[in-house]
Amino acid sequence: MMTRILRPAAAAAAALLALGTMAEPAQSQVNQDKTQMEKPDQMRMEQMMGGWPKASKEAAMFMTKKYGPPAAMSKDLMVWGKTGPWKRTIVYAQEYPHEFPAYHTDVMQQFIDYKAPADMYDELAMYDGSVVVERTSGEISARCDKEGANFLALNLANDIVTGKLSVKEARKMYGEQAMAMKAKQPAPYTEKLLFQAQAGGTADPGRALMKGMNESKQ
């Protein structure tokens, strides 16, 4: 499992298109949404999650309690736009089994803008299969079951990219921080992003091999 670029689940496409046309809500509206969710919206959300597994329901309710209701939802997923440090968050109805660092299911994927050097992609793939690098869009994401675990995954990914830790060291530290978080002991890598998330300017459209491919034929 060497050089690779993983992509989000195809089911997210329609919801993300809807998000692309939405303006970012005012902070006062966000605060209002966090404190009280309209009953019809709450009922619809609960109906959507009727057949969801426990991990997915818990992730969706966590996001709603902390950041407000989702910007888009379907029977397959719920999507939040810009919330806290995240560019977007997707909670999936589908669970993805993951054995590292111990068995759990990945259900919540959280994105930030990030430009990872292409020669670091192999290391990131070996570090954690649920860390997703998107070179073209200039994003990195982590997919786990809890926000704290996603903070942890991305903080350690950044340590690998910056040369602070090797893959082996990062995997070892992941286990240590995850155990501390579970035991409700101090685990700073799980509490927030420990590096400054980039704000755009990270996309890499690549270089054209052929000119005029998109030009209309006369």
Least confident of 16-20, 161-165, 208-212: 16-20
- pLDDT number for residue 28: 46
Distance CA 154, CA 156 (A): 5
Q: Please state, in angstroms and as integers, the Cα–Cα distance from residue 147 to each residue in 21, 112, 171, following that order.
A: 26, 13, 18
Least confident of 38-47, 100-109, 142-151: 38-47
CA angle 116, 121, 126 (to 5 degrees): 130
- pLDDT number for residue 206: 86
* Two structure tokens written together for 7: 């992509």
For 5-42, write each residue's pLDDT tens digit: 444 444 455 455 445 444 444 444 444 444 445 555 88
Contact indicator for 54, 61 with CB cutoff of 8 Å: no
Contact indicator for 54, 95 with CB cutoff of 8 Å: no
CA angle 118, 124, 127 (to 5 degrees): 165
CA angle 62, 68, 69 (to 5 degrees): 90
Residue 36 DSSP SS3? coil
Contact indicator for 112, 140 with CB cutoff of 8 Å: yes
Tell me which of 73 and 32 has the higher pLDDT: 73
Torsion of CA 81, 83, 88, 93, to 10 degrees: -90
Distance CA 143, CA 218 (A): 47
For 175-184, write each residue's pLDDT tens digit: 999 999 999 9
State the pLDDT confidence band at 67, using cuts at 50, 70 and 90: very high
Contact indicator for 127, 100 with CB cutoff of 8 Å: no
Residue 117 DSSP SS3? coil
- pLDDT number for residue 16: 52
* pTM beyond cutoff 0.85: no
pLDDT beyond 50 at 3: no
Distance CA 70, CA 90 (A): 9
Rg (CA), the chain: 18
